Each structure stands twice: as C-alpha cells, then as structure tokens.
Amino acid sequence: MRALRLLKWKSDPVLSEVSDPEPGPGEVLVRVGGAGACHSDLHVMREFEGGAPWGPPLTLGHENAGWVAALGDGAKGVEVGQAVAVYGPWGCGTCGRCRLGAENYCEDRDAAPLTGGLGADGGMAEYLLVPAARHLLPLPDGLEPAEAAPLTDAGLTPYHAVRRSWPKLPPGSTAVVIGAGGLGHIAVQILKATTAAKVIAVDLRPDALELARAHGADLTLPSDEHAAAEVRAATGGRGADVVLDFVGADATLRLGAAAARTVGDLTVVGIAGGTLPVSFRGIPYEVSVQTTYWGTRPELAEVLDLAARGLIRPRVTTYPLDRAMDAYHDLEAGRLTGRAVIVP
C-alpha cells in the first residue's frame, strides 16, 4: 500500500510503498477514509529530533477515521465494514487513567503501544493498524470518515479543554479562543454548542477571524498589542472567564494572562513552546494556568454526537494521498482555512 512516511528527522515525509499491515491478536485493521493534517506533524518533521522517545521511519497521521477492514484473533466489538473513528492516544488500557478512558494521560507508558502517527505508523496510508478494538468508536449516522477524522484530534482536543472549564462558563461569562485555526475554529463551535458563554476569537489572520465569525464567534479581534485591552473593554473591565490558547507562544500566553478574569482559567493547548512567568502580581488572582493534551475516549463519543447532530462542523479541505505534502505546505504557509484531511 501507499503511505506518507517520515524517513528521517528534519525532512519532508515521502510517499512510499510499504507492505499491507496484517492484524495480529486483538488488533484491528482499518481502511483509512480520512487522516487529518495537524500542526503538530510539522513540529515532528521540522523540530522533533531528540525530542521524542521514538523516531523515523514512520507513517504520519494521528487523526483518523475509516472502515473496519479485518479483525485479528480475539478482537471484538466492531464488525468488518463498519465506519469508525479512531481514538488516537493509545494507552496501556489498565492503569487508573486508562480505566477512565483517559488514555491520553496513561501512567504506564512502558506498557502502552506507541501512538499511531506519533511513534507507530499512522493513518496517512491506505490502511491503519489499531492495537485494540476499544480505540474504535462507531460513527453515528450522517458522519462520513473524511469529516469525522479531524474530530478525533482537532475536535477532541478543544472539547476536552472546554469541557473541563464548563463550571466557569455560565450565562454571562466570556471565553476567549486564541488561534482560530484547525482546533480553534472547532473550539468556537464547541463553546457555542455546550455553553452560554460569549465567545471572542483572536487571530493574526483575517481569514481565520472570518471563519470564527461564520461559526458563531460573538466578537473577533486581531492578535495585536491592543487585544487584551479589547477583551477587557468587551467584558465590562472584568476580563475573560476562560482563555484557551491554541498557539502557546510567548506573546499569546502574555495576552491570555492579561485578558483573564480573576478566578479564571488560562488553558494552554498550543505547542509553540512559549513561556509565561507566573508571579504574585504577574497574573490575576486565582487564575488557574494549565496545559491539556488531547482528550478522553468518552469525550470523543460526545464530540461525534455533537457533529452527527450538526452542532459542530469542521471546515475541511480534502487532499488525495499523493498531494499530502501540499496540505502541509498550505498549513505551514497559513494558506489553509480550517482543517486539511488526506483521503487516500
């Protein structure tokens, strides 16, 4: 089969011919119907050398959906031909976190397989080998694999970040989304679908702000030195109850801290690697600062439900597998609005 392979660190991945994977005991083979191109893949191909306990060669693609193609011995719970979304963070399955479905925070990494597309072979190929049937969630009616694929990361990651802050988002509250790209434009929709908060989107790119407005943002602001003051002005001087930073650079973290309300949340989802000095007068009182990574399996089921009911709808641009690098180049150049999905 054909697969988009990263052959060495600090290089562009290459469309390669590899042998079709065969499911071993407990494993499931999925025919890929869509594999999302994520900003973190760019970090993997450009910057990761030495930064991960795994390395090339590997097939990229960690947000995947498709159809069950074959079951290994003993694998059960899904049927051949069934449309499924693939829960991406593969944990050990038995530690305390995994038992709750939070395999994104598995505490026994030594007993867990490497994650597809981030260690093991991912979904930018005709087939994807999934280590256990529990990672496959049936697609509800009305959801095709190509549109479901981005929900497994670009949908699930912001959903987890929003959901954990639900108690701080009652009517009358304000949420700020910094970075209205692949994840951020879905974050706006998740906030609108699951809370009564007023939503403010902040981005450098006019296209991204337009996308956020089209998906229900109440206010959009260019990401500049005035943005924090504008957030305060729009909230009667109080600031935002919840700030979700999908960029994570020094400047956006600074903006997030300056825009947050006392007792608010500042949640860092973006992996740009910026830092935020925390000191007694550096951030508003009782602001909680946290990072999040991906989401839980039960949350993915909730995301799929929201999408099947039309309450969230990722903006998707599809690319065939042999043009997958165009998707990354478009993403890298800021030419992409919403999410790129590779359809093999």
SS3 87: coil
On the 0-12 / 13-18 / 19+ scale of CB atoms within 10 A, 274 is middle
Min dist. Cβ of residue 92 to Zn ion (A): 3
Min dist. Cβ of residue 104 to Zn ion (A): 10
Nearer to Zn ion, 90 or 127 (CB): 90
* Nearby residues of 205 by Cβ (< 8 Å), 6 or more positions away: 180, 334
Nearer to Zn ion, 38 or 125 (CB): 38
Nearer to Zn ion, 215 or 339 (CB): 339
If binding means CB under 5 A, how many residues of this protein chain bind Zn ion?
9
Nearer to Zn ion, 153 or 265 (CB): 153
SS3 230: helix
Nearer to Zn ion, 86 or 259 (CB): 86
272 binds Zn ion (CB under 5 A): no
Nearer to Zn ion, 91 or 338 (CB): 91
H-assigned helices in the chain:
39-47, 96-99, 145-148, 156-163, 184-194, 206-214, 227-234, 250-259, 297-308, 324-332
Nearer to Zn ion, 177 or 221 (CB): 177
DSSP 160-178: HHHHTTGGG--TT-EEEEE
Q: How far apart are CA 61 and CA 59, in angstroms?
A: 7
Residues 20-49: x/- map of binding to Zn ion (CB under 5 A)? ------------------x-x---------
Taking alpha carbons only, the member of 226, 214, 292, 299 closest to residue 259 is 226
153 binds Zn ion (CB under 5 A): yes
Residues 105-134: x/- map of binding to Zn ion (CB under 5 A)? -x-x--------------------------
Residues from 67 through 96 that contact Zn ion (CB under 5 A): 91-92, 95
Q: How far apart are CA 74 and CA 57, in angstroms?
A: 29
* Nearby residues of 172 by Cβ (< 8 Å), 6 or more positions away: 196
Taking alpha carbons only, the member of 336, 343, 295 closest to residue 39 is 336
98 binds Zn ion (CB under 5 A): yes
Among the listed ranges 17-25, 103-111, 143-151, 331-339, the one in contact with Zn ion (CB under 5 A) is 103-111
Min dist. Cβ of residue 157 to Zn ion (A): 7
Among the listed ranges 68-76, 152-160, 215-223, 250-258, the one in contact with Zn ion (CB under 5 A) is 152-160
Q: Which residues bind Zn ion (CB under 5 A)?
A: 38, 40, 91-92, 95, 98, 106, 108, 153
